[in-house]
A and B are shown apart, each in its own frame.
Chain A
Amino acid sequence: MSTHAGHPVRRADVCAVAVADTFRGDGETLANPIGIIAMIGGRLARATYEPDLLMTDGEAGLIANHEAVPAKRDRMVETYNPYRRMFDVVWSGRRHVMMGATQVDQYGNQNIAGLGGTPARPKTQLLGFRGAPGNTINDTTSYFVAVHGPRVFVPTVDVVTGIGYDRASALGPVAARFHEIRRVVSNLGVFDFETPDHRMRLRSVHPGVTAEDVVAATGFELVIPSSVTTSRLPTPDELRLLDDIIDPEGTRYTEVPDPT
């Protein structure tokens, strides 16, 4: 891979800019990426081409810092945003959340509640619905998956916590007018739903990954464009920001290690 700022671009760097690009065009929106690389990528978007984004400290504040996880005493708080206040933002439509997913399916349905059994009594209990139903019916939503595999990218999720395009379509255009699943970013590539029936499409493969690799790691039929593009590399300035300001500890490399 090409070299910027003195070190080769690694897979996690590509993931971070792919996450950042998910927030491109959002303007003065609460960008709410949840997770290590998700947060790093969101901070990168704000530090570069989306300066008006608002972002959380993961607790009760919206902060101006570029560091992914600034120390408490260093936080530059823009506003107080306790949990209850978050619902005001979510229900106002002024948020783009990036969640994780234990399962995600071809229409972008997400599951974080349970595996097997029935929704009323799962065989394996996970976290719960958390805020996923409210996030997906009210705001733009994206997902980040650190380990792309056929048990995560499944034909149909066991429990629909975050609603995908088939569920939104069944609700009709009025009820679903605020629904958008913009992107899924994984350690292998970037995916969107920009197809006639909103099935998941391979948008780009990360450098070093082939479309065949992605297909083999996906449990349903992806829409594959006739020519598959490669995810972009960070610019030298983006890599400098990641290395020096946003994630100097390199936590992104623990979440997505380089392929062996």
Chain B
Amino acid sequence: MSPEAYPAPKDKRLTEDEAVGRLQSGMTIGIGGWGSRRKPMSLVRAILRSDLIDLHVVTYGGPEVGMLCAAGKISRLTFAFVAPDVGAAAVLEPHFRAARQGGAIECTELDEGMLLLGLHAAAWRMPFLPTRVGLGSDLLLANPGLRTVRSPYPGPGGGEGEELIAQPAIGLDAALVHLNVADERGNGAYTGPDLYFDDLLLEAAEQRFVSAERIVPVGDLVAAAGDVTRLRVSRLFVDGLVTAPNGAHPTSCDPDYGHDEAFQKAYLATAKDPERWDAFRRDWLSFATEAEYQAALAARPAEGAAS
């Protein structure tokens, strides 16, 4: 075989809109990050300007949940909490609350650890994983599909096998995560305090999209990340790669930037009145491209550019 006949490596580079163009209404979408930390917001903005609807979102939720609820994109949410993480006190997410209280979304409510187990089960192609988490709580009322399973092994002291919660696999049609740095093939690294559950979300998904602050040549990722132990996303589990500087805005992407508190407060205040949400959506969530959004952010007067 002559060298010119060898296949080229996959080119996974996409724009946000190309990535979101591969999604369909009705899909189950896992969103990475945690609360208001390292959320793949540039991909979320692409969903917000798309015609996708009826999405089932699975996430450790932050402001992206409220934005997607307010825009009518979500019909089901699988969550353990939704917290916008603004200021000293944990506050509640007003758009999410309105959607849930008004019955606009169905919810699968879980303990934080059950969400971890559900993603693990999907990633490992298991139907469920057993846990005692949830026993005795009202999760069984909030989440009536939840079943228990009896251990086939003797219980403590040789008694009957223990009855445990069988946390079902949470299989995802697609996962969206944002990382600090990736290489051109789609290997990724986090340089901040916590990977959260981003690798698991990718491993639990059929289609896997990573956006990153920076893309470096193959071979440069260890140096870019600072240490090999930070290379926690393998291209085995990445189908699409998006270059997205400041892509987590307004959430944080430590150590590259913190969250934009003024912007998040402005967003949260839009829940007070539909006209304010409409104006916010028109002013900030209706750009044709992510580049235009970033340009508008950069053009804000200095006092508007927070934190």
**Interchain nearest-CB distance for B107 vs A (Å):** 8
Q: Which of B83, B112, B155 is the one whose CB lies under 8 Å from A134?
A: B112
Is the pair A82, B195 in contact by a Cβ cutoff of 8 Å?
A: yes
Is the pair B113, A131 in contact by a Cβ cutoff of 8 Å?
A: yes
Interface stretch of the complex, out of A25-33, A121-129, A241-249: A121-129
Q: Which of B96, B110, B136 has the most CB of A within 10 A?
A: B136
Q: Does A54 contact B (CB under 8 A)?
A: no
Q: Does A38 contact B (CB under 8 A)?
A: no
- Identify whether the interface residues of B are mostly helix, strand, loop, or mixed: loop
Chain B, range 53-109, C-beta contacts under 8 Å to A: 79-83, 90, 92, 96-97, 100-101, 103, 107, 109
Please measure, in the bound complex, the distance between the C-alpha atom of A160 and the C-alpha atom of B133, giving whole angstroms: 13
Q: Does B194 contact A (CB under 8 A)?
A: yes
Interfacial chain A residues near B111, Cβ < 8 Å: 129-134
Interfacial chain B residues near A174, Cβ < 8 Å: 155-156, 159, 162
Q: Which of A134, A162, A167, A176 has the most CB of B within 10 A?
A: A134
Interface residue count for A (Cβ, 8 Å)?
Answer: 45
Is the pair A121, B141 in contact by a Cβ cutoff of 8 Å?
A: no
Q: Does B301 contact A (CB under 8 A)?
A: no
Interface residue count for B (Cβ, 8 Å)?
Answer: 44
Is the pair B193, A59 in contact by a Cβ cutoff of 8 Å?
A: yes
Is the pair A161, B137 in contact by a Cβ cutoff of 8 Å?
A: yes
Chain B positions near chain A (C-beta within 8 angstroms) = 34, 79-83, 90, 92, 96-97, 100-101, 103, 107, 109-114, 116, 131-139, 141-144, 155-156, 159, 162-163, 193-197
Is the pair B100, A127 in contact by a Cβ cutoff of 8 Å?
A: no
Interfacial chain B residues near A129, Cβ < 8 Å: 80-81, 109-112, 137, 139, 142
Given the contacts A159-B142, A175-B132, A127 and B101 also touching, CB distance less than 8 Å: no
Please measure, in the bound complex, the distance between the C-alpha atom of A133 and the C-alpha atom of B113, giving whole angstroms: 9
Which 10 residue pairs are nearest across A and B when measured between Cβ atoms?
A: A128-B81, A134-B133, A133-B137, A167-B136, A119-B142, A163-B136, A60-B193, A119-B141, A125-B97, A160-B138
**Interchain nearest-CB distance for A35 vs B (Å):** 10
Q: Which of A117, A128, A137 is the one whose CB lies under 8 Å from B82?
A: A128
Interfacial chain B residues near A128, Cβ < 8 Å: 79-82, 109
Q: Which of B90, B138, B143, B163 is the one whose CB lies under 8 Å from A161?
A: B138
Q: Which of B34, B80, B100, B136 is the one whose CB lies under 8 Å from A122?
A: B100
Q: Which of B34, B92, B137 is the one whose CB lies under 8 Å from A163?
A: B137
Given the contacts A125-B97, A131-B113, A137 and B138 also touching, CB distance less than 8 Å: no
Q: Does A90 contact B (CB under 8 A)?
A: yes
**Interchain nearest-CB distance for B276 vs A (Å):** 20
Interfacial chain A residues near B101, Cβ < 8 Å: 117, 121-125
Is the pair B136, A125 in contact by a Cβ cutoff of 8 Å?
A: no
Q: Does A142 contact B (CB under 8 A)?
A: no
Is the pair A171, B90 in contact by a Cβ cutoff of 8 Å?
A: no
Q: Which of B101, B131, B142 has the most CB of A within 10 A?
A: B142
Interfacial chain B residues near A137, Cβ < 8 Å: 132-137
